Structure 1
Amino acid sequence: MSPRTIVIGDLHGCYDEALELLDKVGATSSDRVIFAGDLVDRGPRRRECVELAMRHEAVLGNHEEAHLQQRRRPDERLLPDHLETRRALEPEHYDWMARLPHYLRLPEHDAVVVHAGMLPDLPVEAQNPYHLLHAQCIQPPATKSYWPSKAPEGFTFWTHHWKGPERVIFGHTVFDRPLVTEHAVGIDTGCVYGRSLTAVVLPSWELVSVPARKTYRGGKEVARFPVHGDVCVYS
């Protein structure tokens, strides 16, 4: 079998599910495995998730970005969840996170992996890092981005506006099931919230998921906001 590229959505400490998903897709040493960011916070096995990604590849997520920004902040000024992550990590983990790219191009698949999203009509190299890490609902040409639950009238999810040329594989936004459009594939299906962990396997673009073993963190079942047809984001 030819080597594949396996891109996995936000882990947030869900290490056991990550191993189960890799086993389910039959990952081998010849496959390329990429994590779409947000390895840490919220879930139970944060250090293990970072060390798993260190053996493969990853793009920077907004949670890794936050920890890098807070690296010198005193413990008492951290959120409890961030303090738990800090206590799980060592300096070498932070040094590795500091080297993570904001995107990974997959030219052989006409694809690019980012954590969150892209503004239209700009190559990934010209994107503002803020949007690569945070983009959700936008109204081009304005560059402001909003959570779906807080988006003003007229703002729509960034995938409505992105027309390629690459197909963007992304995490960050928690969907009730993977979001699949012509030019984008969203694979954060909320494992840490008791839903599932999802991978997209290239070149077939097959979607593979495993269920969460438990609900590690509540708070994503309050309201549903359609982003594409009946695919909804939990907010």
Structure 2
Amino acid sequence: MKYDIIGDIHGCYQELLQLIARLGYEKQGDVFIHPENRKLAFVGDAMDRGPESLNVLRLLFALQDAGILYYSPGNHCNKLFRYFKGNDVQLTHGLEVTVDEWQQLHKPERQQFRKRYIHFYEQLPHYQQLENDLIVAHAGLKAEMIGKPLSKGIAVFVLYGDITGRFHADGRPVRRDWAKSYRGQKWVVYGHTPTAEPYFVNRTVNIDTGCVFGGSLTAFRFPEKEIVSVPSLQPYQPDRFHIYS
């Protein structure tokens, strides 16, 4: 099977449609199908911060209903799930944008959407193992974690990365660059940390190229290991991009 793995979307629905078209997919009903039977996959964080989170999610719901969704949930996905379940979560870091969009719906549609999202999230694996040599995990996955029974440590790692316990001034956690020490044979495709260009190191690639911050929306084609991107339609925020050292 061949895959087109798409980085963090964060509500950038128009860019998503452009990228899917550039990758050669054709709309059939509510979903997109590739004439060569390629499959779309996603590193998570479909929502928050951007202008059309609900439309992105509606497309993912349709892919799930059709049995062709390959999606690895991120920390923003988890936070929206906890919010919809009634947990006490802070409406910050872009969740407030999604919630405001959701609250614009009429009440019956609002409740239907909430239930559909809960169902969507509960069906998702913590990360995707696609083929024998491809892993898709939101914030990454260490080689020694692959295939192991799910633990709290693995669950936290795939959502947040290799966090240190320290925080930046704006509240974002300080993360280690786990990929530098990755020595696994499987490719790990991830996102979570916005960077100006796809970040390749060892057999890993970070494809969150900060679309919602004015960068681009990126896909990694596997097994070709090619990059396809479309430019963002959002305002450019240079301070939001991580620089690997």
TM-score (norm 1): 0.79
CA RMSD between the two structures: 2.8
* Deviation of 1:32 (Å): 0.8
Taking the aligned partners of 1:42 and 1:214, their CA distance within structure 2 comes to 10
* Structure 1 residue corresponding to 2:206, chosen from 182, 186, 200: 186
CA contact (8 A) 1:42 1:81 kept: yes
Would you say 1:84 and 2:110 are equivalent positions? Answer: no
CA contact (8 A) 1:75 1:83 kept: no
- Structure 2 gaps of 5+ residues are 26-33, 64-68
Q: How does 1:26-105 map to 2 (within 5 A)?
A: 26-27=24-25, 28=34, 30-54=37-61, 55=63, 56-73=69-86, 78-79=91-92, 80-84=96-100, 86-87=102-103, 90=113, 91-105=115-129
Would you say 1:199 and 2:190 are equivalent positions? Answer: no
* Deviation of 1:57 (Å): 2.4
Q: Which amino acid aligns with 2:79?
A: A
In structure 2, relative to structure 1, the CA distance for the partners of 1:107 and 1:145 (3 Å cut) is farther
Taking the aligned partners of 1:122 and 1:183, their CA distance within structure 2 comes to 15
Would you say 1:107 and 2:123 are equivalent positions? Answer: no
Taking the aligned partners of 1:104 and 1:36, their CA distance within structure 2 comes to 9
Taking the aligned partners of 1:46 and 1:104, their CA distance within structure 2 comes to 22
- Structure 1 gaps of 5+ residues are 138-143, 229-235
Q: Between the two proteins, what is the percent identity of the paired residues?
A: 28
Would you say 1:24 and 2:22 are equivalent positions? Answer: yes
Would you say 1:167 and 2:167 are equivalent positions? Answer: no
* Deviation of 1:73 (Å): 3.1
In structure 2, relative to structure 1, the CA distance for the partners of 1:203 and 1:190 (3 Å cut) is same
CA contact (8 A) 2:53 2:98 kept: no
CA contact (8 A) 1:40 1:46 kept: yes
* Structure 2 residue corresponding to 1:129, chosen from 155, 176, 196: 155
* Deviation of 1:82 (Å): 4.7
Taking the aligned partners of 1:11 and 1:188, their CA distance within structure 2 comes to 8
